[in-house]
Amino acid sequence: MSEHKFWTARLLKKEIFVAFIFLFQPPTSIKKDQRDAQKLVISEVVNHLMLSASSTYNCIVSFPKMASNYKGKAIVIMGVSGAGKSTIGQMLGRAVHGRFLDADDYHSESNKEKMKNGIPLSDEDRVPWLETLRNVLRRGLVDNETLILACSALQKRYREILRSADPNYELGSYASVVKFVLLDVGAEVLATRLVKRAAEGKHFMPAKLLQTQLDLLQIDEAEGIFKVDATMDPDNIVKTIQTFVI
């Protein structure tokens, strides 16, 4: 559960409608002085509304977030093969003094063999891999590390698995200490990069699987994923991510 607590009070004409929505830990974990402070603020705002009955008010009162032992952070550099995830992830890791993780290193040998032979991975192949990555992220977050993970994370349901590395994460809320950055680049540039990389023997992913990945890529604007133009100079990409995400 989120530790934020808020309530909304609306006064329309002379009728007061007060809606309280509390998103909090179980009552036994809330101290008496915190409950008293909430009551005091609520009382003061309602009194103010009653003195101004000729107007309509919308007011949101935010209470301070409770202290958390969770100070780690994770940035997932996502996108299809050839977007530059590993290159940017390594550079970003150095820039923020964080630990870089390459999701490809956590694939099973059977997954790697499938991709090498041009066979697209199924969810049965991907989910155990993603769960392993989630567990690695969680251990790092608990240790208050800054983690940079290069991972395709093409589908929303895959990203939800990674977001759940945050023990406090509520599925579907997208409010997690695990953040995502999409390296956005066109298909033609990607194809050129993959052909070059394959010729150099630098990766097991063949260019013919690119279209499969592009078809899988799914972005929901509600997720708040930060997009960056991956055709820019790598140094500029890293600076952009540092400015807007970290």
Between residues 30 and 201, which one has the greater pLDDT? 201
Written as six digits, the tokens of 108 are 């099973």
CA angle 133, 167, 83 (to 5 degrees): 35
Tell me the mean pLDDT in the region 103-122: 90
Over residues 24-48, the mean pLDDT reads 43
Q: What pTM was computed for the model?
A: 0.67
Give the pLDDT confidence of 57-86 residue by residue, as tens digits.
333 333 233 334 457 999 999 999 889 999
Estimate to the nearest angstrom the gap between the alpha carbon of 90 and the chain centroid: 19
Characterize the bridge pairing of strands 146-150 and 226-229. unpaired
The yes-or-no verdict on residue 45 having pLDDT over 60 is no
The sheet that has 99-102: what strands, in order across it? 99-102, 146-150, 73-78, 178-184, 226-229
